[in-house]
Every structure is written in structure tokens, then in C-alpha cells.
Amino acid sequence: MISGLTRGLLAAGLCVGLGLATSAPARAGGSGLDEPDEAETGTPFFGFIKNLTLGGTIPDAKVVASLKGGNTSFVIRGDKSGHFRFTGFAKDVDPDKVEIVCSVDGYKLARTVRRKLSSDPGAPIEVDCLMSKAAP
């Protein structure tokens, strides 16, 4: 038989466990210790590496974002869907001075297409890299 004290402790433990299991994690303005808060970063850039020759996208392409006239650049790889995203530019970086260039073996960059999604300052900018098959 279970004593009254044991029953009370068991009930309290179940209540605490249920409360912890159903609560959402608390965040204080950031997604991680090493990542800047979105409010502290400048304009994000995102887009796709598109295959003009065969249609669709090209996965795992090298994507470089650099500042025109500067010596700063960021290098990432497109994901398996051919998508990329750059964040982390400082707020004082002029988005018009950020240049995005893509490269992948067997293809050449035909052109990039930029679209600002809103006229709001800091609004994301979509940049699609249009790639065509390179001549053998």
C-alpha cells in the first residue's frame, strides 16, 4: 500500500513533470549564443542557384557575398535544394554594395537577378544565380 506522503510526492512530481514537458523553451532575444540577434544585423540576402540549361536548381554550389570596393567576403555552399542565405552583415553596410556570385563545376554564371522584397530598410533581398552549362 502507498502511504499518504508517498502519494502526495508522486502527485507533485507528476504535476511538475507535466508542466516541464508542455512548456516552450524560453529565449531572451536570440537563437543561440554565437549568432547575433536579428535586430542587430543588416539586410539578409537569400536566393537559389538555378539551372538555365536543364531547369530546376543546382545543389552544393559555392556562393560568395562580397562588398564592392572592399576586402570582405563570405563564402557558403547552397543546400541540397539549391538555396542559400546570408545574414550577419552590419546594419551600416549598404545593400547595394553587396555583390553575390555563384560558381559550380561544369557551369558558368549567366547573370544574377536581384529583387528587394519591400522598400522597408533592412528588408530581405532575393538574389538568384542563373547558371548555364559551360562549353566543354
State how far the alpha carbon of 98 is from the alpha carbons of 39, 103, 104, 114, in Å: 19, 17, 20, 11
φ, ψ (nearest 5 deg) of residue 51 = -95, 105
Q: Could you tell me the pTM of the whole model? A: 0.69
Predicted confidence at residue 88, as pLDDT, reads 74
pLDDT tens, residue by residue, 61-118: 999 999 998 888 999 999 999 999 998 788 888 999 999 999 999 999 999 999 998 9
**Residue 21 pLDDT exceeds 50:** no
What pLDDT is stored for residue 126 in this prediction?
97
Q: What pLDDT is recorded for position 20? A: 43
What is the rounded distance in angstroms from the CA atom of residue 92 to the CA atom of residue 111?
27
